[in-house]
């Protein structure tokens, strides 16, 4: 079997793993260090669509909800921040009281009937910083990190949604979508792509945009497109990653902003002043 975790997983990437490796079964899950473990997971009995598009249901010992910026609980299907309470929630960040107060908050709820007498006092909710929603069957759908959302002309755009469509193109091995400053819209959508080894050539900007437009609204189509290892404009040969292999989205965003500052825009010639 295979286990997919670490960050929100685009549908297209999961499909590639299933098709490429001789895996009998695959599981997806979601969690974070501050929760001491994973908090959700799919099961062997879950249908393939649930394994491809969700992070599963809550594991025992946790409760969770989706909230808005005012900590109001949101209904099924509505995106917001995932907050979690339970035995696994950390005590604090070591010697960082301000960060702890920002991450762990009390919402005035008594959870003893759900989690036992140990939670008779106010529940401690871990604000994860992850955006997602609950479907009608109680499965969690992770849509990305809140701080990575692109806000274009008042519209919140999830990079993960665009990445999922890009990953389904056979010429694209890897991708990162992020926002860059725009005088007109506040932010514009940008992408750095990695060419698949089997591809004969890079896609043109128009080909990339047409591919994204097949599945998504026009305002979600990347305006700026670069390719990993494009030495002519100064794109690095390798993705910036953490020690455990996650993409450093903040570093990738800075690369894109630097390319714009130096005037390295895509073939359409559209430019956003910084």
**List of domains in the chain:** 2-146 (3.40.50.12780), 149-261 (3.30.300.30)
Give per-residue pLDDT as tens, 38-71: 999 999 899 988 988 899 999 999 999 999 999 9
Q: What average pLDDT score do residues 25-46 get?
A: 91
Distance CA(87)–CA(108), nearest Å, equals 17
State yes or no: pLDDT of 7 exceeds 80.
no
Distance CA(148)–CA(261), nearest Å, equals 20
State yes or no: pLDDT of 115 exceeds 90.
no
The reported pLDDT for the residue numbered 49 is 86
The reported pLDDT for the residue numbered 80 is 96
Average predicted confidence (pLDDT) for the chain = 88
| Predicted TM-score of the model (pTM) | 0.77
> How deeply is 188 buried, as exposed, middle or buried, from its count of CB atoms within 10 A (0-12, 13-18, 19+)?
buried
**Residues of the chain with pLDDT > 90: what percent?**
70
Pure H helices in the chain: 11-20, 48-53, 97-103, 112-115, 159-167, 205-213, 249-261
The reported pLDDT for the residue numbered 269 is 42
Strands 186-195 and 224-227: what pairing? Answer: parallel
The reported pLDDT for the residue numbered 114 is 57
Give, as one character, the DSSP assignment of residue 234: T
The reported pLDDT for the residue numbered 265 is 66
Residue 8 and residue 160 in contact, taking contact as beta carbons nearer than 8 Å: yes
The reported pLDDT for the residue numbered 271 is 42
The reported pLDDT for the residue numbered 148 is 93
Give per-residue pLDDT as tens, 85-113: 998 999 999 999 999 999 999 876 666 55
């Amino acid at each position: 079997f295979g286990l997919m975790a670490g960050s929100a997983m685009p549908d297209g990437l999961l499909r590639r793993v299933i098709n490429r490796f001789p895996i009998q079964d695959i599981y997806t899950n979601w969690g974070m260090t501050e929760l001491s473990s994973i908090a959700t997971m799919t099961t062997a009995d879950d249908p393939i669509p649930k394994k491809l598009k969700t992070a599963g249901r809550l594991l025992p010992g946790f409760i969770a909800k989706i909230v808005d910026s005012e900590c109001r609980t949101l209904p099924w299907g509505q995106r917001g921040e995932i907050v979690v309470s339970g035995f696994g929630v950390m005590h604090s960040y070591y010697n960082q009281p301000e960060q702890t107060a920002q991450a762990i908050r009390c919402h005035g709820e008594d959870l003893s009937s759900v989690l036992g007498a140990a939670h008779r006092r106010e529940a401690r909710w871990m604000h994860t910083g992850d955006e997602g929603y609950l479907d009608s069957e109680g499965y969690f759908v992770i849509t990305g990190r809140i701080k990575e959302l692109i806000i274009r002309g008042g519209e919140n755009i999830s990079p993960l949604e665009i990445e999922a469509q890009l990953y389904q193109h056979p010429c694209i091995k890897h991708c990162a979508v992020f926002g860059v400053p725009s005088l007109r819209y506040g932010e514009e959508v940008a992408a750095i792509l990695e060419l698949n080894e089997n591809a004969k050539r890079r896609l043109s900007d128009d080909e990339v945009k047409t591919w994204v437009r097949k599945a998504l609204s026009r305002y979600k189509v990347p305006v700026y497109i670069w390719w990993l290892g494009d030495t002519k404009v100064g794109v690095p040969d390798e993705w910036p990653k953490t020690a455990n292999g996650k993409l450093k989205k903040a570093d990738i965003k800075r690369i894109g902003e630097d390319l714009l500052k130096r005037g390295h825009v895509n073939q359409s010639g559209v430019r956003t002043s910084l």
